[in-house]
Each structure stands twice: as C-alpha cells, then as structure tokens.
C-alpha cells in the first residue's frame, strides 16, 4: 500500500507539473534574448575551441537558420536569397524580410512566415543561396516540440502523468548547454558539407533505409549489445595496449554480426556513423573542451538563468558514453550517432591525426579503427 501511495503521489506531482509546461513560444515574430544568447554563445564557443575539436571547424564561417512555430530567422547572411534548399535539392520558403526594430550582434537579421509547420527548415543543414547554414529550432520551440512529440507517442493515460520536464532536463544535461551543443552539432554538419559535400549527400541518400533496418531483430540486437559493450570498454581501457586489444575484439564482433546483414545495410550503418556520429562527437567534445578550462563564455549567455556553465558537461559526457551501451534497445538511427561517436573517441587514442583523413571519400570510422589496431 505504501508503494502504491508513493506511485500515485508521484503521478499527481507529475500531472500538476505537466499543466505548467509551455505550449507556445513567448516571442514568435523575432528572436528572444535567450535565443540570441544561445546563437552568440554557440558561435563564440566554436570559434574559440572548435579547432581543438576538429582542425578548421573553428575557422569556418557558419550562419544559422532557426525557427519557431510561426517564423524562420536567418542570421549571418546579409541580404539572403529567398527560402532554403535541403541537401536533397528540395526548396522551401520565400523572400526574407529584415526584422524591424531589432538586431543580432549589432547587425540586421531576417525572417519569414512559415507556410505551415511541416514546411520548416528542420534540424540539419540547408543552403540559402549558395551558402550552407546550420538549421535548428529555437531554444524555446525545441522544448515545446519535444513535449508535443513525446506526448503523441504515449498511451492516453500515461501521457497525462509522464514526467516530460524531467525527461527534457535529463536528455539535455540540465541547462541550455544541451541546446548550445545541439546547434554545434548542426554547425559541424555544415563543416562536413563545406569539406566533403559529396559524402554528406551520399550519407543522406541512405537515410531511407532506416525503415528496412532490422531494429526489431533480437539476434541482431544481442550482437549489437555485445559489440557496444566492447567498444565502450575499449574507450575506457586503462592502457593503450588494452584499448587496442578490446578494439580488435569489437571489430571482430562487428564483422560477425554483419555476416547476417546485407551490404546495403552495412553501408547504411557506416554512412550514418560518419555523418551523425562525427557530429555527435563534435557536439560533446566541444562542451568537454570548455569544461575546466580558461574558456570564457560570451557575456550574453551569462544572463540566461538556465545556463549552468560547462563543468557539468564532463559528467554528461560520461553519461552519454554509458548511453552507448544501451543503444541496442533503441529502434532508430540514433544508434549510429552513438556508435560513431564512441568510435571517434577511441580513434583519438589509437590513431592521433585520424581526422586528416576522415573527410576523404570512402574512409569510414571502423576502417580507420582496423588500421589503428594493426599499427
């Protein structure tokens, strides 16, 4: 009875808390001060520490297109051409107008009304004229869209008492740093497009295979679990030699699992690990570089109440590495974000300088690891 009472009490608290969750952005016709601070800090962080994460990333010019439930905004491109074009070649949107009576970093920025919620810039990259831009929801709308999307996936009773706010905080690590990292993730995709556009296009062309991948196959998932346990053990090994031995066991397990996978789906894994795994790596490593260092955040972000600083991101990094070991239970391509991220971290240890080759055509992370363990 005591346990039942505790559960009912927790459900009631969650139900009450859910009533206070935001359902619309506080500002829709312009960028909020919080969103401006996030954009400024992401750019400031990347320019200060980006080259330490990936050579050249900090030097790249990377504008942003961000959006809420009503408008898209373009910053960093003076007089932008109409609309935006996805990597697939699909074009959306219309003419941009200068946001009246407002500025971003002392410069004019632009907006356009979205035709509908389905025709938005999405969270990835898009070309405005001839310039690739990082695209992502505003910080406020990211939270709202998360609650709405998660709620739609739950049964009617559960959706009323599910602790959405707690889940949001857990996934982002507590503060706005998670949304800064998310925008850095998309900015790294721009860098990939600037460095190896054909590779980004090839990787995106495999995205449709998610629907035919055997995420529900129990044998494959058990093999994935064993494989990922070895990968994380290699990352956390006490010595480089131990890491090398565990990396070879990981590669052997991966090869054995892929014996039951078609060449097309094997390529799908590697392409998504290259595209999304490297962006996940950049997202987490740049926060890690800022933690415990002399890095000074942009002044604007310090006034944002949810900004906690980067020291907590060291713990979040380890939590994300723990998450790698649970990816066998995930039914979607996010699995490859994490397996690619962990391979990249392991390559830092076993093959310094690997990044000089990672953008070359036909070079995948597990192939570099195979070279590293045989050196």
Average pLDDT, the chain: 93
Residues in CB range of 49: below 8 A, 6 or more apart: 58, 286, 289, 290, 293, 295
User: Exposed, middle or buried: residue 27 (CB in 10 Å: 0-12, 13-18, 19+)?
Assistant: middle
Per-residue pLDDT tens over the stretch 77-119: 999 999 999 999 999 999 999 999 999 999 999 999 999 888 9
Nearest to 359 by CA among 228, 194, 232: 194
Confidence of residue 12 (pLDDT cuts 50, 70, 90): low
Do the Cβ atoms of 90 and 96 come closer than 8 Å? no
Pair of tokens at residue 266: 């094997």
Residues 66 and 117 in one domain: yes
Instruction: Calculate mean pLDDT across residues 281-292.
Output: 95
| Residue 166: per-residue pLDDT | 74
Residue 183 Cα distances to 47, 239, 272, angstroms = 14, 34, 19
Torsion of CA 95, 196, 208, 141, to 10 degrees: -50
Domain around 158: 33-192
DSSP single-letter state for residue 211 = G
- Could you tell me which residues are beta bridge partners of residue 184? none
Residues 282 and 335 in one domain: yes
Q: Where are the alpha helices (DSSP H) in the chain?
A: 2-19, 33-53, 139-152, 156-161, 164-172, 177-204, 218-235, 240-257, 263-272, 278-290, 312-324, 334-350, 355-358, 365-374
Total domains in the fold of the chain: 2
Residue 238 within a domain:
yes
Residues 163 and 214 in one domain: no
Residues 185 and 278 in one domain: no
Indicate the residue among 192, 223, 244 that finishes a domain.
192
- Cα(367)–Cα(266) distance, integer angstroms: 13
Residues 70 and 178 in one domain: yes
Residues 184 and 212 in one domain: no
- Cα(230)–Cα(253) distance, integer angstroms: 9
Confidence of residue 4 (pLDDT cuts 50, 70, 90): low
CA angle, 188 as apex, 182 and 190 as ends, to 5°?
115
**Which range among 11-20, 169-178, 365-374 shows the weakest confidence by mean pLDDT?**
11-20
Residues in CB range of 3: below 8 A, 6 or more apart: none
Per-residue pLDDT tens over the stretch 310-324: 998 999 999 999 999
- Could you tell me which residues are beta bridge partners of residue 111? 73, 97
Indicate the residue among 160, 192, 224 that finishes a domain.
192
Do the Cβ atoms of 28 and 144 come closer than 8 Å? no
| Residue 68: per-residue pLDDT | 98
| Residue 21: per-residue pLDDT | 82
Residue 236 within a domain:
yes
Residues 123 and 217 in one domain: no
Instruction: Calculate mean pLDDT across residues 325-349.
Output: 97
* Long-range CB contacts for residues 102-109, cutoff 8 Å, separation at least 24: 102/30, 102/31, 104/31, 104/36, 104/39, 104/75, 105/36, 105/40, 105/75, 107/75, 107/78, 108/78, 109/31, 109/73, 109/74, 109/75
Dihedral of alpha carbons 189, 190, 192, 198, sign: positive
Pair of tokens at residue 357: 């080759």
Residue 260 Cα distances to 257, 263, 266, 289, angstroms = 6, 10, 10, 39
Instruction: Calculate mean pLDDT across residues 329-351.
Output: 97
Residue 282 DSSP SS3: helix
Judge whether residue 161 has pLDDT over 80: no
Residues 175 and 109 in one domain: yes
Residues 186 and 225 in one domain: no
User: Exposed, middle or buried: residue 131 (CB in 10 Å: 0-12, 13-18, 19+)?
Assistant: middle
Nearest to 35 by CA among 83, 82, 73: 73
Residue 308 within a domain:
no
């Amino acid at each position: 009875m005591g346990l039942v009472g505790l559960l009912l009490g927790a459900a009631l608290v969650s139900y009450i808390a859910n009533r206070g969750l935001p359902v619309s952005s506080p500002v829709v016709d312009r960028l909020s001060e919080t969103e401006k601070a996030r954009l400024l800090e992401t750019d400031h962080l990347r320019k200060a520490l980006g080259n330490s994460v990936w050579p050249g990333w900090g030097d790249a010019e990377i504008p942003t297109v961000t959006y809420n439930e009503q408008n898209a905004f373009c910053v960093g491109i003076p007089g932008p051409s109409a609309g935006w074009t996805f990597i697939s070649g699909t074009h959306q949107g219309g003419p941009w107008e200068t946001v009246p009576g407002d500025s971003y970093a002392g410069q004019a920025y632009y907006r356009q009304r979205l035709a509908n919620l389905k025709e938005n810039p999405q969270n990835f990259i898009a070309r405005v004229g001839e310039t690739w831009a990082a695209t992502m929801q505003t910080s406020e709308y990211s939270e709202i869209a998360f609650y709405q999307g998660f709620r739609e996936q739950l049964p009617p009773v559960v959706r009323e008492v599910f602790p959405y706010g707690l889940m949001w905080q857990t996934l982002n690590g507590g503060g706005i740093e998670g949304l800064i990292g998310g925008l850095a993730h998309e900015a790294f995709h721009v860098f990939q497009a600037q460095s190896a556009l054909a590779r980004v296009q090839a990787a995106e062309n495999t995205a449709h295979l998610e629907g035919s991948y055997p995420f529900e196959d129990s044998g494959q998932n058990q093999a994935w679990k064993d494989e990922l346990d070895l990968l994380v053990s290699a990352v956390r090994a006490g010595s480089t030699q131990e890491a090398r031995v565990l990396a070879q066991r990981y590669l052997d397990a991966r090869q054995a699992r892929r014996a039951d996978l078609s060449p097309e789906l094997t390529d799908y894994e590697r392409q998504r690990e290259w595209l999304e795994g490297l962006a996940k790596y950049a997202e987490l490593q740049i926060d890690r570089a800022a933690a415990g260092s002399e890095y000074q955040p942009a002044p604007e972000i310090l006034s944002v109440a949810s900004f906690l600083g980067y020291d907590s991101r060291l713990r979040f990094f380890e939590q994300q590495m723990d998450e790698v070991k649970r990816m066998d239970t995930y039914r979607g391509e996010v699995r490859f974000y994490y397996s690619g991220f962990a391979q990249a971290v392991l390559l830092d240890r076993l093959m310094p300088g690997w990044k000089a080759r990672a953008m070359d055509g036909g070079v995948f992370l597990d192939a570099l690891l195979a070279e590293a363990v045989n050196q």
